[in-house]
Structure 1
Amino acid sequence: MKVTKEQAQQNKLALLEAAGQLFKQHGIDGVGVADVCRQAGLTHGALYKHFTDKQDLAAQAFAHAFEAGHGRVARAAGGGAGRQRSLATYLDRYLSLNVRDDMAKGCPLVSTACETARQGEAVSRSYADAFAELRAGVEASLPGDAPQAERQALASTVVAALVGAMAISRGMAKADRAEADAVLAQVRGVLESLAAR
């Protein structure tokens, strides 16, 4: 039976969504293409009509997951009254306890930070592109009129702190929830004071 273009696009989207969720929960190396197909309710044949291999799937799934999550944050940040409000939106979304406690939620920059280094160039490129896009969004939300190089450096620092704080908080949450919560709150306070300069 021939699949329509519309159905093919829906199949690809289902595969991207399934892969993105599974990769964030279990890591890229912890998930096989059979797991992705099962989650999406599709066959291996459907997967390989859209992706050349698992690395291609991982790169596209990463980009898709980032765009979906970052798009929501960017829209929310842009809807605020002034730059300070939009930076607060980034901090709210990226340092959320709900996101911390559910690996399937949140930015794939956090859930795949260390693992991406063990993947191929396509996955690394998707990661680098996502970092650059998030940095640009944070940079646009920063208050003040500092030179662009200074704003970009501060935005890089903010993004690195957001990703690092969430990774550390997730790592210790089962052992010491109070300390894990404190890490997120403390990093938020430091970032707010840095951005206010």
Structure 2
Amino acid sequence: MKVSKAQAAENRQGILDAAARLYRERGLAGVGVADITRDAGLTHGGLYRHFESKDALVREACARAFDWSIAPLDGHTPNATVADRIKSYLSPAHRDAPGRGCPAAALAVDAARAGPELSEVFASGIERNIQRFTQLLADHAPAPAEPFGADAAQVSAAHRARAMEVLATMVGGLVLARATAAAQPALSQELLTTLQEQLIQLLDTPQD
């Protein structure tokens, strides 16, 4: 039976959504085409009507995963502060649900090993996250201390540097919390709590 254009588009989106979630849950090497199509409710052969290769699917699914944004996971805080986002990111809920969370924390090591095309997908996604978080800090966090005569570009660069520092700490902390959760849950929780506190304190302190 011929599939309508609307149904074909819906099927394609279902494949991308399933792949983006499963890759984050299991890693790129831990997911086969059959796993993705089964999760999407489609047949194995149907996937290649939408994607020219598995590598093409991986790239698009990872790009799709970067639609995820740092926001409270409960969905009930429309005017969330920077501190709210840090607490949500470095939380047991995010730690325990990689398939619904940050692709950088879930797949960065896989991307580093996968070659330049996937690296470009991650570079673009990470750059967007840096830009978003830089703007968030500019809007809501204490302004960096400005040297006499500093221009707008210098102030913007200071916000960007701090955004990189905070994001890298959050991603690294989440990776370590996930790696230790099964064997030493207390250590995992300590990592989350300590980094929450340290980052919020950092953002409450103007840069020198």
TM-score (norm 1): 0.88
The answer to whether the 8 A contact 2:18-2:40 is kept is yes
Q: How big is each residue's C-alpha offset from its partner over 1:93-135, in whole Å with a ceiling of 9 and x where there is no partner?
A: 2112111122323111111121111113332122112211211
The answer to whether residue 30 in structure 2 is matched with residue 30 in structure 1 is yes
Counterpart Cα distance in 1 of 2:131 and 2:84: 15
Counterpart Cα distance in 1 of 2:193 and 2:71: 22
State the partner residue of 1:65. 65
* Cα RMSD, aligned residues only: 2.2
Q: Percent identity?
A: 34
Q: Note the 1:142-161 alignment, pairs <5 A.
A: 142=137, 143-146=141-144, 147-161=155-169
Q: How big is each residue's C-alpha offset from its partner over 1:11-58, in whole Å with a ceiling of 9 and x where there is no partner?
A: 011101111121111111111112211211212332122222112111
In the alignment, structure 2 segments of 5+ residues that lack a partner are: 145-154
State the partner residue of 2:21. 21
Aligned length, in residue pairs: 191
The answer to whether residue 178 in structure 2 is matched with residue 170 in structure 1 is yes
- Whose Rg is larger? 2
In the alignment, structure 1 segments of 5+ residues that lack a partner are: none
The answer to whether the 8 A contact 2:71-2:88 is kept is no
Task: State the Cα distance separating 1:66 from its structure 2 match.
Answer: 2.1
The answer to whether the 8 A contact 1:37-1:43 is kept is yes
The answer to whether the 8 A contact 2:63-2:121 is kept is yes
Q: Residue 190 of structure 2 aligns to a residue in which SS?
A: helix
CA 1:8 to 1:49, structure 2 compared with 1: closer, same or farther past 3 Å? same
CA 1:167 to 1:59, structure 2 compared with 1: closer, same or farther past 3 Å? same
